[in-house]
């Protein structure tokens, strides 16, 4: 096809003569080459996609399949616990979970209302019994203490002065008695001297009582002043600073609404224990003083030595559990309150122990399923696609079953509902 050129010197109707020739045909063979190129490109793309799907190059095939199946509804399942136990933990009679706590932990507040003037500690500070943690404003109490101490000093001075008066009255009485005996002084003079002396002695008792009252007021003012100093009640570590300088604080923990109830929280990190819940069905296997091993998630591949300190004589009706406190015997600096822990309640050691494997794998009994062929579990991969894994099981205790063959530990075993199939995608509840 061609377009007739327009001459610059043409007449005004040159545009009307512009025309497109429809008789010219494209060159033979150009369309064929274009179609052939398109077919080749499509063939390469299709082949690449097939190979990627088959061999999973760069994860393309898997991702495409995942995107397709993500449109479908996945059954929701729960993940089971698969643990590897070594040493004596593998012989545990009962296994329970709980959290670390300090045997002595307290929110330290003030005995009186006031505004914080000074905080002497930070989180992590080591404190000793009686150490001043914070100070409340107390200038007015200082003035009151000075006033009552001045009053006490004045009363003591008055008593000292009165002692001289008593001495003078005693001497006067002695002189009059001598004169009365010599018939020089009358009996009236003697009586007057006696009354003056007795009155002075009685007044000394009154002044002594005033001194006692003034001393009591001084002690009261000193105690009120001491209440402005917040001190550590025991040796420990500051785990939380609950108030800052300038904030008001109220005694008795009543300040949460309008102020602060405590200045700092102190815990004794040298005496830690695990508070765990033991099922009622297994509480008979736990006794006070029983040895235990404690694993802490924050300190993997290490077991702390424990001992049952107390079994709380009160059950939880809703959860059917009993609280047990297990003290840790070898506390170190890696442990802190509120860390999640697992307690393995151990049997008594005997001189002759049966040989047991050093490494044992346990799985939640609920996750183990069975059919006519064998027992098996469902394992989910990184994309939450499940596959069947046949297992051989051993003894069962505390709703955990030992896996003697089929699992090595670390697998994502799920607690599945009936009707699942290998290769199916599931949704694991978090």
Looking at residue 14, what is its pLDDT?
53
Mean pLDDT of 156-177: 85
pLDDT band at 219 (very low <50, low <70, confident <90, very high): very high
Considering only the C-alpha atoms of the chain, give the largest distance between any 2 of them, rounded to a whole number of Å: 177
pLDDT of residue 120 exceeding 90, the answer is yes
Asked whether 97 and 340 are in contact (CB, 8 A), the reply is yes
* CA–CA gap between residue 400 and residue 89 (Å, rounded): 13
CA 158 to chain centre: 61
pLDDT tops 50 at residue 365: yes
97 near 344, Cβ under 8 Å?
no
Where residue 351 falls among pLDDT bands split at 50, 70, 90? very low
What are the beta bridge partners of residue 99? 275, 340
pLDDT above 90 covers a percentage of the chain that reads: 29
C-alpha 254 chain-centroid distance: 22
One DSSP character per residue, 206-250 reads HHHHHHHHHHHHHHHHHHHHHTTEEE-SSSEEEEEE---TT-EE-
Question: What pLDDT is stored for residue 357 in this prediction?
Answer: 52
Of 52-66, 181-195, 234-248, 280-294, least confident by mean pLDDT is 52-66
Query: 290-328, pLDDT tens digit by residue?
Result: 999 999 988 888 899 999 999 999 998 898 999 999 999
Name the phi and psi angles at 162, rounded to 5.
-70, -30
Taking the C-alpha atoms of residue 287 and residue 347, their distance in angstroms, rounded to an integer, is 10
Cα–Cα distance for residue pair 397/259, rounded to 1 Å: 51
Element (DSSP H or E) covering residue 188:
helix 187-226
What does the alpha-carbon distance between residue 381 and residue 391 come to, in Å, rounded to a whole number?
17
CA nearest neighbour of 265 among 241, 287, 286, 283 = 241
Rounded to whole angstroms, how far apart are CA atoms 48 and 46?
Answer: 5
Indicate the pLDDT class of residue 177, thresholds 50, 70 and 90: confident
What does the pLDDT read at residue 4?
A: 44
- Long-range contacts (CB closer than 8 Å, 24 or more residues apart) made by 64-72: 66/383, 66/425, 69/425, 70/425, 72/425
């Amino acid at each position: 096809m061609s377009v007739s050129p327009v001459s610059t010197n043409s007449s005004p109707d040159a545009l009307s003569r512009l025309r497109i020739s429809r008789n010219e045909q494209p060159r033979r063979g150009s369309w064929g080459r274009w179609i052939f190129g398109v077919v080749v490109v499509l063939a390469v793309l299709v082949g690449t996609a097939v190979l990627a799907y088959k061999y999973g190059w760069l994860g393309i095939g898997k991702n495409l399949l995942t995107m397709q199946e993500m449109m479908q509804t996945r059954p929701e399942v729960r993940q089971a616990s698969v643990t590897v136990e070594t040493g004596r933990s593998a012989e545990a009679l009962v296994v329970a979970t709980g959290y670390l706590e300090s045997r002595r932990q307290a929110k330290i507040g003030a005995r009186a209302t006031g505004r914080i003037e000074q905080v002497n500690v930070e989180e992590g500070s080591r404190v000793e019994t009686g150490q001043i943690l914070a100070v409340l404003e107390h200038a007015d109490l200082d003035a009151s203490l000075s006033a009552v101490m001045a009053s006490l000093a004045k009363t003591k001075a008055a008593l000292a002065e009165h002692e001289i008066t008593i001495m003078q009255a005693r001497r006067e009485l002695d002189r009059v008695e001598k004169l009365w005996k010599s018939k020089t002084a009358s009996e009236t003079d003697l009586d007057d001297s006696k009354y003056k002396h007795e009155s002075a002695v009685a007044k000394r008792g009154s002044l002594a009582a005033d001194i006692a009252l003034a001393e009591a007021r001084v002690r009261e003012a000193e105690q009120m002043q001491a209440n402005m100093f917040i001190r550590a009640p025991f040796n420990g570590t500051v785990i939380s600073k609950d108030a800052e300088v300038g904030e008001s604080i109220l005694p008795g923990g009543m300040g949460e609404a309008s102020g602060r109830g405590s200045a700092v929280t102190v815990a004794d990190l040298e005496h830690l224990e695990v508070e765990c819940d033991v099922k009622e069905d297994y509480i008979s296997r736990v006794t006070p003083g029983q040895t235990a091993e404690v694993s802490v998630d924050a300190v993997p591949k290490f077991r702390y030595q424990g001992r049952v300190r107390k079994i709380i004589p009160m059950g939880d009706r809703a959860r059917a559990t009993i609280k047990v406190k297990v003290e840790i015997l070898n506390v170190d600096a890696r442990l802190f309150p509120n860390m999640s822990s697992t307690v393995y309640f151990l049997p008594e050691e005997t001189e002759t122990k049966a040989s047991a494997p050093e490494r044992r794998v346990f799985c939640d009994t609920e996750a183990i399923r069975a059919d006519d062929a064998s027992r098996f579990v469902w394992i989910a991969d990184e994309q939450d696609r499940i596959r069947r894994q046949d297992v051989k099981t051993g003894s069962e205790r505390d709703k955990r079953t030992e896996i003697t063959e089929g699992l090595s530990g670390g697998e994502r075993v799920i607690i599945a509902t009936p009707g699942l199939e290998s290769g199916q995608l599931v949704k694991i509840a978090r």
